[in-house]
Amino acid sequence: NAGVTQTPKFQVLKTGQSMTLQCAQDMNHEYMSWYRQDPGMGLRLIHYSVGAGITDQGEVPNGYNVSRSTTEDFPLRLLSAAPSQTSVYFCASSPSPRVPPLHFGNGTRLTVT
Amino acid sequence: QKEVEQDPGPLSVPEGAIVSLNCTYSNSAFQYFMWYRQYSRKGPELLMYTYSSGNKEDGRFTAQVDKSSKYISLFIRDSQPSDSATYLCAMRGPNAGGTSYGKLTFGQGTILTVHP
């Protein structure tokens, strides 16, 4: 039982490049979410999903896309990277949106130059 | 003004001390309150989850919620060096309906160091 797995652990991008951050969970959790963590800002919700085929925006969705084609996977796409997207990104899951995020991945540290 | 305010610290205490971590909030719609612990280079882990005003105890940890004052606290008794981490408060609105469904708002986190 691996919990929530995020890849890659580190990534450096140039401004304007695109990439996908991967997130997978093996606990059959309905609810998955993406957060970014910046110094002095806590964690801020980017996008979330309450089940396969259903996604919605969080607090800071601009510049990011998500999809949820399976229960297990919830990738986050950066469409055109900007230096303001330099951050640590965390994926989280829980059995339902009524339960707070129980399992977090160990994060992807992204630098945009 | 941020919806959730948390003193970032850092907070440094000797082993065995009682630690008090606090958050204030402005949104009266918040009904569910959580505390997460985050070790360096790791994802947060859920420590405590409370709904109503009052106290909830789990081992050395006690979560306290005062909705009338919009104030929550986490107390750690007999603190250990292994408690050294960043502690994040988080909260959200009702389960059913509304734009807050399933969405958490986090505090900035308090960095705690417990010295042996």
pLDDT digits (tens, 9 = 90+) for B33-46: 999 999 999 999 99
Quick check: A99 pLDDT over 80?
no
User: Which chain A residues have a beta carbon less than 8 Å from that of B92?
Assistant: 100
Give the CB-side neighbour count of residue A61, counting CA atoms within 13 A: 12
Alpha carbon of B64 to those of A67, A90, A93, B13, B59: distances in Å? 38, 27, 25, 21, 14
How would you write A44-79 as a 3-class SS string? EEEEEEEECCEEEECCCCCCEEECCCCCCECCEEEC
B75 touches chain A (CB under 8 A): no
User: Best mutation site among B24, B30, B45, B46 for testing chain A: the one with the most A CBs within 10 Å?
Assistant: B46
For residue A35, pLDDT over 50 is answered with: yes
Answer yes or no: is pLDDT of A14 > 50. yes
Selecting from A42, A45, A107 the residue whose C-beta is nearest the C-beta of B103 gives A45
Cα distance from B102 to chain A (closest Cα, Å)?
Answer: 5
Chain A: residue nearest B50 by CA? Answer: A100
Length of chain B: 116
Amino acid at B84: S
Mean pLDDT of chain B: 90
Please report the pLDDT score of residue B40 as a whole number: 93
Kindly list the distances between the CA atom of residue B28 and the CA atoms of A85, A112, B67, B81, B92, in Å, as whole numbers in the listed order: 31, 37, 8, 36, 10
CA distance B38 to B102: 21
pLDDT in tens, B17-30: 999 999 999 998 88
Q: What is the mean pLDDT of residues A45-54?
A: 92
Q: Which residues of A touch B97 (CB under 8 A)?
A: none
Instruction: Note whether B6 contacts A: Cβ–Cβ < 8 A.
Output: yes
Distance, in Å, from the CA atom of A8 to the CA atom of A107, rounded to the nearest integer, reads 8
Average pLDDT over residues B79-83: 98
Prior bond to B81 cis, omega within 30?
Answer: no
**What is the per-residue pLDDT for A98?**
76
Distances (CA, A) of A46 to A20, B13, B41: 14, 35, 20
- Contact predicate A26/A82, CB 8 Å: no
pLDDT for the residue A24: 97
Confidence of residue B100 (pLDDT cuts 50, 70, 90): very low
Hey, is the C-beta of B31 within 8 angstroms of any chain A C-beta? no
Residues A91 and A5: their CA atoms lie apart, in Å, by: 8
Q: Which residues of B touch A41 (CB under 8 A)?
A: 108
Asked whether the predicted pLDDT for residue A27 surpasses 60, the reply is yes
Q: B93 in contact with A at a CB cutoff of 8 Å?
A: no
